[in-house]
Structure 1
């Protein structure tokens, strides 16, 4: 079977209790759970958390919480991959028969079920592909970025790129922070990198990408979500 793992620790600093704070009528994490459960390619949704309240809400919305994440994997410095590997190790030891695993972020209310499906289908059809993940295009060429010096002056990020025309520079992309698909064996292989040469991007439209780290981010995400709902984007 295919599963989705949703990492959701309780210690959010910038927006306290972010993973379960009400977002357009229900806890933030409930949107990720609902979208994953509606996918025809996902049979079970697992929430990895260190927080009892998050666990109870996840179960209420249909997710499994078969273990509690240890504190050592719930600090500000632990990345996503170790959390997914920890979850897979436990589930496999419990006898779960897992094929593919999606990592869905708890704070991804703009992620749609149709995108979860199409991303999986891309991975399934692409031989030698390790991961498929959501990405977004930078709106301005990063080669023309400017850095501020310690004395308050400025310097180019890229001495060559700063002098080039925007249209002559290749586009650059960044992780959208929503979804990562991979076979469970790929996740467990520490030599396989999500952002490696054998991965593929699903480039998202701008209106479906929003980091949620500040109150302003939250407000914009709610506006975008309401527009999605009014246009019945699934």
Structure 2
């Protein structure tokens, strides 16, 4: 099976300018996701989709393929991710032939375990799923306004360990998506068909969107890996 890993990395960012090139533990942020994809046994090719020549140069030096610069129409603040994926897929298939599966790795989530993508691929195959997304269990109690109401029974507030499986909730982390190629092309969405939830640790789903996130990430990366 041929698997294309796509790492999207715009040059512009309002929340944290230049975040994809910000140094983390000695390397630009994007390099951590490139290394992860290159180390995966299931990934055939790793491509970075960017509109920034500086990011492209860093990505190439890290071992990723960057055969094109992303068109300006796909590099705005409002551009969805799926057209970026389809553009990268078409460009890569034009040069290297048809792929069977597309993996999307956001560079802002660098704390993946070394075998995370391989385990996700194995789960996708074992479940016969068409797409997969990384999630982490969320224990927050949510409320809404107008009218004020809770998403849980506040008169019988459950303890975390007492939450039954049917009531557990999971947060989409954005760190990894797997999509069968034909599904992505036909539906124009990274998720569809039979969807699998790939549960990860909270750290693996950590996402960098601000300077505070960046500082916290630096601290987390200094923590020893669990035994």
TM-score, length-scaled by structure 2: 0.88
User: CA separation in 2, counterparts of 1:198 and 1:94?
Assistant: 30
| DSSP 3-state at the match of 2:84 | helix
The aligned counterpart of 1:155 is: 148
Q: How many residues align?
A: 221
Sort the Cα spacing of 1:171 and 1:192 in 2 relative to 1 into closer, same or farther, 3 A. Answer: same
Q: Tell me, which stretches of 5 or more residues in structure 1 are unaligned?
A: none
Sort the Cα spacing of 1:141 and 1:184 in 2 relative to 1 into closer, same or farther, 3 A. Answer: same
- Cα shift readout 1:182-213 (whole Å, capped 9, x = no counterpart): 2211221226552x562111111223221211
| DSSP 3-state at the match of 2:219 | helix
- How much does 1:55 deviate? 0.4
- Cα shift readout 1:80-134 (whole Å, capped 9, x = no counterpart): 222111111222223423122111111121012311110011112222x121111
The aligned counterpart of 2:136 is: 136
Aligned CA-pair RMSD: 2.2
Contact in 2 for aligned 1:109/1:225 (Cα 8 Å): no
Contact in 2 for aligned 1:156/1:162 (Cα 8 Å): no
The aligned counterpart of 1:61 is: 62
Sort the Cα spacing of 1:226 and 1:157 in 2 relative to 1 into closer, same or farther, 3 A. Answer: same
The aligned counterpart of 2:30 is: 29
Q: Tell me, which stretches of 5 or more residues in structure 2 are unaligned?
A: none
User: CA separation in 2, counterparts of 1:39 and 1:176?
Assistant: 20
Contact in 1 for aligned 2:179/2:190 (Cα 8 Å): no
Give the ranges of 4+ consecutive aligned residues of structure 1 lying more than 6 Å apart after TM superposition.
Answer: none
Sort the Cα spacing of 1:164 and 1:93 in 2 relative to 1 into closer, same or farther, 3 A. Answer: farther
| DSSP 3-state at the match of 2:6 | strand
Contact in 1 for aligned 2:109/2:204 (Cα 8 Å): no
Contact in 1 for aligned 2:110/2:204 (Cα 8 Å): no
Q: Residues 53-92 of structure 1: matches in 2 within 5 Å?
A: 53-92=54-93
User: CA separation in 2, counterparts of 1:23 and 1:38?
Assistant: 19
Q: Residues 11-22 of structure 1: matches in 2 within 5 Å?
A: 11-22=12-23
| DSSP 3-state at the match of 1:113 | coil
- How much does 1:225 deviate? 1.7
User: CA separation in 1, counterparts of 2:163 and 2:202?
Assistant: 22
TM-score, length-scaled by structure 1: 0.86
The aligned counterpart of 1:179 is: 176
Higher deviation after alignment, 89-98 or 34-43: 89-98
The aligned counterpart of 1:214 is: 210
User: CA separation in 1, counterparts of 2:175 and 2:62?
Assistant: 19
Sort the Cα spacing of 1:231 and 1:155 in 2 relative to 1 into closer, same or farther, 3 A. Answer: same
User: CA separation in 1, counterparts of 2:190 and 2:153?
Assistant: 28
